[in-house]
Amino acid sequence: MKALLRGVAVMLTTGVLAAVAAVPAVAQDTVALDTERARASYMVGHDVARSIAAAAQDIDLAAFERAVANAVQGGEPLIEDSQVPVTGRALMMRIAARAGRAPADAEVPEVDKQQVGYLIGSDVGRSLQPMKDELDLPIVLTAVRATFAGGELQMTEAEFDATREAFAQKMRGQFEARMNAQAETNRAEGAKFLAVNKQEKGVFTTPSGLQYRVLRQGSGPRPRPGARVRVNYEGKLLDGTVFDSSYERGEPTEFGLDQVIAGWTEGLMLMPVGAKYRFWIPGDLAYGAKGSGGGDIGPNATLVFDVELQAIVE
């Protein structure tokens, strides 16, 4: 479901789709924009409306607003899983047809506007969730309605631009502060864990700080720098959360030793083909202070990998 929602979002925001006619004009609500928070909320709502303008005439606004509020609070999507592909495909076909991108003989399907509202509202709500404490959702939704209606807005383009820049700077500052705090916490927790783990029987520590245990010894050659290898593996955080696994995908992975994190490069060169090792990789040998860039691996996280070296490919 998430993949299709992302697909719909891409369709709505790509430049190849021209803006379409706004929804029928309605009496517009006005709100007090006398605080930074209120102006930021109105700006975000305006930007949301512009990003989904291509679908405007297919959206039931009441359903959209319910779905946004629900998703912002972390609720399950209001649209049923079975309705997602049906609604998503029909909506994208209608958008493509209005933009002149559909085949001339294509049949343009009807859509349930309530389901479209739920579909897009769930996507928008999730995108707003990380900043929900900085926004007044009623003002966000007021701005969406006003932008869709096509009348005069309560802020000028210059005011939108200034507010957008200030808000983005504020969000970046908050994000960096959270990342720095998390990085220090992860570094301390990792160091504490590794100090204890190195005392365990069968655990070896290299000069770089990489720790490993031989789970099964192999008898083949060891990879040299730059070699390409085939492995099966599972990666976990210290709390046991699995963030990546070739076992779950049902097939091994091939890569060059110069294409992976430093802990893998060093560790795999210790392994003979046929071996299975467990590695404990400190954050500075893994993804460092930046983490995996929005993924499951936080900054300075210590990682645990079980790795089977199947072959040296080249």
**Could you confirm whether 247 is annotated as catalytic?**
no
Cβ within 8 Å of residue 114, ≥6 positions away: 60, 63
| Region(s) of the chain under CATH 3.10.50.40 | 189-312
The band of 254, judged by pLDDT with boundaries at 50, 70 and 90, is very high
- According to the model, what pLDDT value does residue 26 have? 45
How sure is the predictor about 106, in pLDDT bands with cuts at 50, 70 and 90? confident
CATH 3.40.50.2300 fits 189-312, yes or no: no
Whether 120 is catalytic is no
Residues 6 or more apart from 136 whose CB is under 8 A from it? 37, 38, 41
- Catalytic residue chosen out of the listed positions 47, 193, 243, 255: 243
C-beta of residue 289 within 8 angstroms of C-beta of residue 301 = no
- Distance CA(226)–CA(102), nearest Å, equals 47
Q: Specify the pLDDT at position 102.
A: 83
β-partners of residue 281 are: 303
313 vs 105, more confident: 313
What pLDDT, in 10s, does the model give residues 145-155? Answer: 999 999 899 99
CA 227 to chain centre: 32
Q: Which amino acid is at 162?
A: A
Active site residue 193: no
- Which of 233, 277, 279, 297 is an active site residue? 233
Distances (CA, A) of 273 to 214, 218, 220, 229: 13, 5, 4, 9
> Helix, strand, or coil here: 65?
helix
Which one from 148, 160, 277, 287 is the annotated catalytic residue?
Answer: 287
Look up 118 and say whether it is catalytic: no
Alpha helices in the chain (DSSP H): 2-13, 36-51, 61-72, 83-98, 113-128, 137-149, 157-197, 246-249, 262-268
Q: Are 307 and 297 within 8 A, CB to CB?
A: no
Average pLDDT over residues 296-314: 95
Q: Which of 244, 255, 284, 306 is catalytic?
A: 244
Residues 6+ apart with CB under 8 A from 55: 8, 12, 91, 95, 116, 120
Query: In the predicted model, is pLDDT for residue 129 greater than 90?
Result: yes
- Name the amino acid, one letter, at 120: I
Q: Distance between CA atoms of 185 and 179, rounded to whole angstroms? A: 10
The catalytic residue among 29, 261, 284, 306 is 261
